Structure 1
């Protein structure tokens, strides 16, 4: 093969570091952008916040001018390392592990059937309300679970506080604490006692048997605590524990026989397969429970008022507060017509600038060894500020185009939403669809109708009898409107909803109606039917 030289002309797209950073910043959410800015402020000494009170005194500026930028940067790094080292020095905390627990007790406190702490609960119906006082708990020391939940006290902490009042031996208390720590967030004990015992005892059969026995006793103690139903292994047991507590309260208060029969019937229903209750299969429940349909309906209504997740009110759920990137306000024009002004939210826009003093010092020391590297960091700071500004400019342009297209929505609501796809906005602004997709993801707009993600305003269109198209968002809103106004004794089927949409001039198949109904989290007709 003879070697030779040849020329070839080709085109290819090369993403510069500046363009890559611009794309990355564009797709970040507000929270992610704030984290990126904080990280950049730490990494790049030429970047600082543009605060009104920013600026160094003249004497500090003079001292900086007499030093090299590399010396300043190195001094800052050494200070940060010293602070990090001092913060990392702390006394080791002793944690309580299963290995530290003492399982060598000879006896078990308590007699069969006598468990400390009677449980109590709160109910929606006055006939079901009542609070029982525990036999081993002083009423003055009782703590309201709702108040604790507001203080973000976890379920395990609340149960540990109750366990302290049971006056158990060390081994029984350790077993109870271990079960409390094994609960799920909903208050269920999902792991079998055998597996919990095996995880501690390993292959030691005798120790495993002893642990299973202690866990069985601790489970009964756990299920006697508040909230009622905690420590259940499944939903059926959770409901039965609550009904058992209601029956005990009814016996103490001397309720009527009819109410007692209702509670017993509800307990019998929960003893049957739970799928029958979920499907509201009255026919099979009638044959299994031997009760009339009317009594079954009343008992099922009572069960519906029980709490299927005892630990729900103790969950420390982080509130996700949506901070809008764009704010839309109505503005009345001189002609009397209502327009909408679109502006960026100043609270989410980071105010950054290049550190003037560091930049001036760098210009004074052009001959230093680290000048080229530091000049690159200065350029990165300028690029970062420019890319952030470009990010918000693009968000504003896309938001203005959306408001222009969906002006009827801001006046009349979801039913006035128009079909809109990414390509429509991309063609209007001369941008690529991928850019519009990045802009509309995790970016929010505050409007007179509420706060929505920018992607919410996009939706496919369904054909109409007039030859036009209706937005899928408007169709979903119309379906929700139909369901809200339906007769609960005769709920509307998907086929009937499709016919009603057709009467409105919208061609929508039954499968599409079912898909939209599921997106709206509207249950089927069987589950919507009133008891």
Structure 2
């Protein structure tokens, strides 16, 4: 085979660095976007944070300036003072009027203050010691919010250090504590714990009875029920720690000790027959048992709350739905005009080339941020336009919606819409929802229309809330009730939606009233 050179012409799609950066910023969550902006501010000297009240001309000039550093025309300077569609208003479904407004920063500090003005005359001072602060004070609970979270093991070890024990028993206690999970249960058998401590070469090896005795000591720690090996033992520990004159305490011990399986299956007829309790007595006994904690560790292992910062805020003013980006999700950045003025056109030195490259990267980054905000606002606007019934009436008015519908409305690819709606949140009068929440499949109705799966879930939840506690609705019955409303849904579909909402089956929802 003879080697030869050939020329071939062809066209192919390539992703430029600018497009890769825009796609990367588009799919970032709020927290990741803040980290990305902070990293860009630290790595690029041409970028800086625009303070409130500053003129945004350097920021916008970075978008409209040419790559060679040409100055914009006066008409461009006039145009670039306007922000790129920060908010939009949606009126009725038959109206296409959308209003754009500028973001405006506020400054509460008076412009002119006398030289002898006291600080207390302008700002309200903090309350004196011993005076309780208002509930709206952000710093009133600073210590509790920022203190480290105490785990269950820390709580047990703190009690163990205050308990007088021999060194031998303390070693056994630490081995047992290491086997307690977050729910408060002992996950290792006593035989295994004893096997890890037993040494036949010792003069006085640890016995199994000693391990069990130390476990009983730990089971008196707080929270009640800690160190149990199963649910039955956990409930009995808590019952045994109640005062002896607690009403129906012996009957509760009887049911937990011998009829726990009937309690789980809610077979109240068998319970009354075997325990010889009347319905009123059984109701009181069940109330006592239900007051116990089946997972005692959860009372100590408090997971710190995770706060969601919405990307889009939806409000209603004068009968019009207003959609705007949250201005607090990320700092506003711009090009540092002082550093940009140092760049010389004809200079090809290494320093000047570096500054020119950094300026170009700063322009790309700002333009990518603006593109992200514009795309997010477009998608959120179309979602609100489509799901206005949900905002007005709730989940039962949710309409079916798929990504391709929004993609066609904003003339973008479906994959772009998927990136925009992932880990982006919308604040509405009905709560904060991920943008993905507004998309759902559809189920046909008798009238030839469509009903979203979200609306069906809301209907199932409503049926369960209004059912009889003595005779809960089965999946077949709920499917029949939905069919009466013209919604064709199978029993297995009802079961799938019910399980997705963590609603127990009908036999487990049965109650005594």
TM-score (norm 2): 0.74
Q: 1:360 aligns with which of 338, 341, 347?
A: 341
CA distance in 2, matches of 1:371, 1:196: 70
In the TM superposition, what is the alpha-carbon distance from 1:373 to its structure 2 partner? 4.4
What secondary structure is seen at the aligned counterpart in 2 of 1:323?
A: coil
CA distance in 2, matches of 1:44, 1:198: 60
Number of the residue aligned with 2:42? 42
208 and 460 in structure 1: CA distance in 2 versus 1, 3 angstrom threshold: farther
Number of the residue aligned with 2:114? none
Q: Map 1:125-524 to 2 at 5 A.
A: 152-196=149-193, 198=195, 206=202, 209-210=205-206, 214-246=210-242, 249-250=243-244, 253=245, 259-269=248-258, 276-281=262-267, 291=276, 294=279, 299-332=285-318, 338-363=319-344, 366-524=347-505
Number of the residue aligned with 1:103? none
CA distance in 1, matches of 2:24, 2:200: 56
What secondary structure is seen at the aligned counterpart in 1 of 2:433?
A: strand
In the TM superposition, what is the alpha-carbon distance from 1:324 to its structure 2 partner? 0.9
What secondary structure is seen at the aligned counterpart in 2 of 1:445?
A: strand
What secondary structure is seen at the aligned counterpart in 1 of 2:206?
A: helix
Paired residues of 2:44 and 2:362 also in contact (CA < 8 A): yes
Identify the range of structure 1 (41-50 vs 498-507) with the bigger mean alpha-carbon deviation: 41-50
In the TM superposition, what is the alpha-carbon distance from 1:279 to its structure 2 partner? 2.4
CA distance in 2, matches of 1:283, 1:527: 15
Instruction: After superposition, give the CA deviation of every residue in 1:21-61 in whole Å (9 maximum; x if it has no partner).
Output: 11111111111111222222223333222224999xxxxxx
Q: Is 1:27 aligned with 2:30?
A: no
CA distance in 2, matches of 1:40, 1:507: 53
CA distance in 2, matches of 1:207, 1:53: 80
CA distance in 2, matches of 1:8, 1:474: 57
Structure 1 residue runs without a partner (length 5+)? 56-146, 333-337
Q: Which has the higher contact order (CA 8 A, sep 6+)?
A: 2
CA distance in 1, matches of 2:197, 2:343: 64
Q: Is 1:528 aligned with 2:504?
A: no
In the TM superposition, what is the alpha-carbon distance from 1:414 to its structure 2 partner? 1.1
Instruction: After superposition, give the CA deviation of every residue in 1:115-158 in whole Å (9 maximum; x if it has no partner).
Output: xxxxxxxxxxxxxxxxxxxxxxxxxxxxxxxx99x994433333
Paired residues of 1:266 and 1:303 also in contact (CA < 8 A): no
In the TM superposition, what is the alpha-carbon distance from 1:480 to its structure 2 partner? 1.2
What secondary structure is seen at the aligned counterpart in 1 of 2:314?
A: strand
CA distance in 2, matches of 1:425, 1:482: 32
343 and 206 in structure 1: CA distance in 2 versus 1, 3 angstrom threshold: same
364 and 193 in structure 1: CA distance in 2 versus 1, 3 angstrom threshold: farther
CA RMSD in angstroms, aligned pairs only: 3.1
| Count of residue pairs brought into register by the alignment | 423
Structure 2 residue runs without a partner (length 5+)? 56-143
Number of the residue aligned with 2:108? none
In the TM superposition, what is the alpha-carbon distance from 1:510 to its structure 2 partner? 1.2
CA distance in 1, matches of 2:194, 2:349: 68
In the TM superposition, what is the alpha-carbon distance from 1:12 to its structure 2 partner? 2.5
